[in-house]
Chains A and B, each alone.
Chain A
Amino acid sequence: DVKVTQSSRYLVKRTGEKVFLECVQDMDHENMFWYRQDPGLGLRLIYFSYDVKMKEKGDIPEGYSVSREKKERFSLILESASTNQTSMYLCASSLTGEGYGYTFGSGTRLTVV
């Protein structure tokens, strides 16, 4: 069973802090994704990666960056946290190829005060 693990379930950070959200998957998936989930807006793609050291901007990359130094780990970085980044953050991974669904992590609920 594929496991996608997000390091924190809940986080509270102050405005202006640098925040790291970590995601690790254990099934050798090539693709990893970061989404944020907000009521009524569904899941919006922040960044994704198809390979180590590779990253691509999603639909809402502003204020975020990512790092993928190892295949199993994909980190989301909030360079200077702001209150409008308060949200649920979901990491997902998948195999490469047509028609592979995602496996999601449990999510990190981030509150920026």
Chain B
Amino acid sequence: GENVEQHPSTLSVQEGDSAVIKCTYSDSASNYFPWYKQELGKRPQLIIDIRSNVGEKKDQRIAVTLNKTAKHFSLHITETQPEDSAVYFCAASSAGNKLTFGGGTRVLVKP
């Protein structure tokens, strides 16, 4: 089955700096890659996703890139703000709608 690895597990950045989280996946048939943000005590929420026919997608301060050849994808957050502090999960989907998640990255934005 699919295996998703996520790095780093924790990330501390200064407010205004950029944050990058990287994920690799194992199943070359995977074709959908969402990212979820989970604030403390809350449910994970979808923040951005990318499909395998697209190399990059941007939404305001967040962007995701996908390299299908290397089987990795990344989340980029620019101009970080304190409200970006959360745990971020990447995921990959191959068969049907079943998602396999990475281990999560705890992001701390220091004012």
Chain A residues with CB under 8 Å of B46's CB are 101-103
> Nearest CB to that of B99 among chain A residues?
A102
Given contacts A104-B43, A104-B44, contact A42 B97 (CB under 8 A): no
Chain B residues with CB under 8 Å of A59's CB are 1, 100
B-contact 0/1 string along A6-44, CB 8 Å cutoff: 000000000000000000000000010101000011111
Given contacts A43-B101, A50-B96, A59-B1, contact A106 B42 (CB under 8 A): yes
B89 within 8 A of A: yes
A78 within 8 A of B: no
A105 touches B101 (CB 8 A): no
- CA–CA, A106 and B41, complex, Å: 8
- For B32, give its contact among A48, A58, A96, A99 (CB under 8 Å): A99
The smallest C-beta distance from B24 to any residue of chain A, in angstroms, reads 14
Nearest 10 Cβ contacts at the A-B interface: A42-B103, A43-B101, A104-B43, A101-B46, A42-B101, A99-B32, A101-B34, A31-B97, A42-B104, A104-B44
Which residues of B are in contact with A by a Cβ distance under 8 Å? 1, 4, 6, 9, 31-32, 34, 36, 42-46, 49, 51, 89, 93, 96-104
A76 within 8 A of B: no
Chain A residues with CB under 8 Å of B32's CB are 98-99
B51 touches A99 (CB 8 A): yes
The smallest C-beta distance from A38 to any residue of chain B, in angstroms, reads 10
19 A-B pairs, CB-CB below 8 angstroms?
A31-B97, A42-B101, A42-B104, A43-B101, A45-B98, A50-B96, A58-B98, A59-B100, A94-B97, A96-B96, A96-B97, A99-B31, A99-B93, A100-B97, A102-B36, A102-B44, A103-B46, A104-B43, A106-B42
